[in-house]
Amino acid sequence: MFSRLRPQSASHTLPHMDPVLAQQIRTLPPSKVAHDRRVRYQTVIYLTLLIAVITLPLML
């Protein structure tokens, strides 16, 4: 049913991905994607800082 609506548009823009996933990605606003990516980078940085703060006094 859904594949008959737009058979070639999703696979044409992103041929290496699943058409349903490409449809979901194209309908996502780009600000939300950028916000999720920034939050992921911040959590990685905070985790590494937390690990460094915990392990530095133990090593000294």
Check whether 28 has a pLDDT greater than 80: no
- Name the 3-class secondary structure at 28: coil
pTM of the model: 0.41
Check whether 34 has a pLDDT greater than 70: yes
Give the pair of three-digit tokens for residue 27.
């309908």
Maximal C-alpha separation, the chain: 65
- Across the range 33-37, mean pLDDT stands at 79
Higher pLDDT pick, 44 / 3: 44
